[in-house]
Structure 1
């Protein structure tokens, strides 16, 4: 029998934390496989750390969200948010399921075209559309969501020599009762700016106003805020019909639906407090259906969900590097991934599970990454079994934003693997190498 490693006992302050109505919870159960593929074999084959995505879970999430809206409203279209995760294989899964593309930059727009999305099924959002990007979108008959007056004037000037009227919408910001207001983007509803933008579009005669768009926030926990947003877009659409004789073809309620991750500082875990997609669907569709549109004039409802469709389909596998005692007596475990790889650890208390069997002994500990920075904290406080160097861990619900907001700081970005519906893993993005990192660099002659 192998002799267990000795660790000297320490005296530590008892701190059980606040009780909640759900009682005590354990965050540690061994997670030895993902979709039937052993964690250890994934790390052995593709390295550590390693992002793993479940194609099966992505498709289920999408189908469930579509069903939530389609069973309540006759005309619904989802558009995959590229900024959430723009790895081509991920985008392809959503497009195969019927999703359009929602992009916020020129390079995302070109990615969508490269993924086979027809131009008329690309929604172009964002405040920084370059002239070349706008012309490309016009050429491909995409939906251009105008963000500010300078963009409106730019688009009008670009359209002068063109023999076509681009399809446009305006982004509207508004007071939905959730603060701080997201008023940096779009035209304000309350002060009349949105209506001014609409009238200028119509007076120009050069643009075809087809929709109204809003994106009221991110990780929204209030369903009632979407009722307010939907009603105000309906009000604008009604004014367009009555005063300008233009029928708005679609209302785009944007994204912002939360995943079941737990936000830092939350009293209760996300799994117990986050509204479901059905909750949001019920509020949004009921508001539009009850507004008073004639059945034949009901606008198409567009959703740009990202996080809620992919967060729980993503995992980050890692390895324990070392353990130490901090000056205050706390146990610290160092992992081979940090905040450069797991960017969302700044926002969430990610669930982290051991990937192997463990003893019944547990301890409150800090989980650090390997970076030479004090801010490199994966979890400030978590109760886990004692982990030893070489042990593996699984971080849950990391599919959104980590693979677009990660950075090359001290360590390079790891590989991303997708497990298909048959349980076969595929590399969908290779681990970066030094040669890859240095491709854009050049050396001045005097330094050679």
Structure 2
């Protein structure tokens, strides 16, 4: 059986083309629907999202542009809310946040996780209920803690002994009692990139269970009159595809939960199992749906609590990428096409687009894989092995490492990359003084601006060297 390549195309005879894991596509005009938002369709080679043909969107809003499918975002938010109906579902705002998204979350009944004063400011501006916000971060400033307590943020996830001291004092001075969760490291090696694995011992987040620091932190929070101990928080990493890591982490965190009950006499009411649920960037990825995740994770907790003889705490999770990742794609304009020779006589076509690592740093930062499709026309040309690259002055400025595109791809074509909702706009930069693209929402055949395109005036506004 032939192996699929990133866009899911497979050649019937299994003949190799380029890298050994790639296969030649059967029809580059077809859309591999599992990689795209739910309203994405292709007709005569033209990609539409939310009923809006992308060539029309680009004519109105320019390129590059992030395209956010409102119906898809809302559907994925509801899927997690309904599947985890006995949990609190906190959307991880770091994946992508703006006032429009905050409003959608409020309307769909989700809670919100923020990890900076800026993200909290966006939530405040959108009028999000503060009691439904959790505040993360390993080095919250004194002013951030003061602001969170003043606003009545529902829970602050503490990450160090210094933070416990600061939060105790801030809450006392403001005359508030602050809900606190304690982030713990369970010593789990998640099968993901080292920079997004967060539950092993040698990294910056949380209190170690194994060293005893986590239990010490619990005692400090419990003993502080201005703090209210809610429970433990565990996050094992990102882009996780099965619940085996969650099972190991839950077992260790629940063991600590039981120890707290036995030794301190406190039955903590809550526990957060984190997020990091994976999505399909290519057909090599096989994510679980929310219902499956909910069933498996609930069984794990139920089994462990029964074995430990403790009551099940109120559980919460923090999906971010799994909601917004597939709901957004990025559309680019092709500027140049160049064919280069590879070792062994093979050839690769380099397709340069009008964006790059300034709007999607993940390929360069995490060696992330993406897919792409020709979005503006049909083609009968035989496919060629292509690398989609950006316009920046870096050899590592790669958007899609390997993809089959029609052999007649040319300047002026539009290419679209799915699965760019998580972290692409959040981590976008002005490298080479690029202007960050807009986020254009689509629904029912209409477009609306979620975040406008940056302008040259924006770029120069902070440059005060010349008056």
Structure 1 position 397, deviation (Å):
0.9
Counterpart in the other structure of 1:5: none
Superposed CA offset, 1:323-373 (max 9, x none): 122254432221111111122333432121111111232111222211122
Taking structure 1 as the reference length, the TM-score comes to 0.87
Q: 2:205 aligns with which of 185, 189, 194?
A: 185
Q: For residues 290 and 27 of structure 1, do their structure 2 counterparts lie closer, same or farther at Cα, with a shift above 3 Å needed?
A: farther
1:277 aligns with 2:305: no
Aligned residue among 422, 438, 442 for 1:415:
438
Aligned mate of 1:313, from 307, 327, 331: 327
Residues 1:257 and 2:302 are matched in the alignment: no
- From the superposition, tell whether residues 426 and 173 of structure 1 become closer, same or farther in structure 2 (CA, over 3 Å): same
Deviation at 1:296, TM superposition (A): 11
Change (3 A) 1:302 1:14: closer
Residue 142 of structure 2 is matched in structure 1 by 131
Structure 2 equivalent of residue 371 of structure 1: 392
After TM superposition, the structure 1 = structure 2 runs for residues 229-268 of structure 1, keeping only pairs within 5 Å, are 229-262=249-282
Output aligned runs, 1:63-142, within 5 Å. Answer: 63-70=78-85, 75-142=86-153
Deviation digits for residues 39-90 of structure 1 (CA, Å, limit 9, x no counterpart): 11000000011110000001111122223223xxxx2111111111012212
- Structure-1 separation of matches of 2:370 and 2:245: 26
Cα deviation, 1:163-221, whole Å, max 9, x if unaligned, reads: 33211110011123536654320101112110011112223333210121111111123
Does residue 345 of the first structure (1) align with residue 345 of the second (2)? Answer: no
Cα contact 1:27–1:351 (8 A) shared by 2: no
**Structure 1: runs of 5 or more not aligned:** 1-12, 263-267
Question: Distance between the aligned counterparts of 1:254 and 1:25, measured in 2?
Answer: 40
Larger Rg: 1
Deviation at 1:26, TM superposition (A): 5.8
Size of the aligned set, in residue pairs, is: 420
1:166 aligns with 2:188: no
Distance in 2 (CA, whole Å) between partners of 1:427 and 1:417 is 5
Equivalent residue for 2:65, pick from 28, 50, 56? 50
Q: Distance in 1 between matches of 2:181 and 2:55?
A: 49
Residues 363 and 161 of structure 1: CA distance in aligned 2, closer, same or farther (over 3 Å): closer
Deviation at 1:435, TM superposition (A): 0.5
Q: 2 CA distance for matches of 1:47 and 1:291?
A: 53
Q: Which runs of 4+ in 1 moved over 4 A?
A: 22-28, 293-297
Q: RMSD value over aligned CA atoms?
A: 2.5
SS at structure 2 position matched to 1:252: strand
Aligned to 1:441: 463
Provide structure 2 residue ranges, at least 5 long, that are not aligned to the other structure.
Answer: 1-14, 31-44
Distance apart, 1:427 and its partner CA: 0.7
Picking from 156, 159, 162, the partner of 1:147 is: 159
| Aligned partners of 1:344 and 1:398 also within 8 Å | no
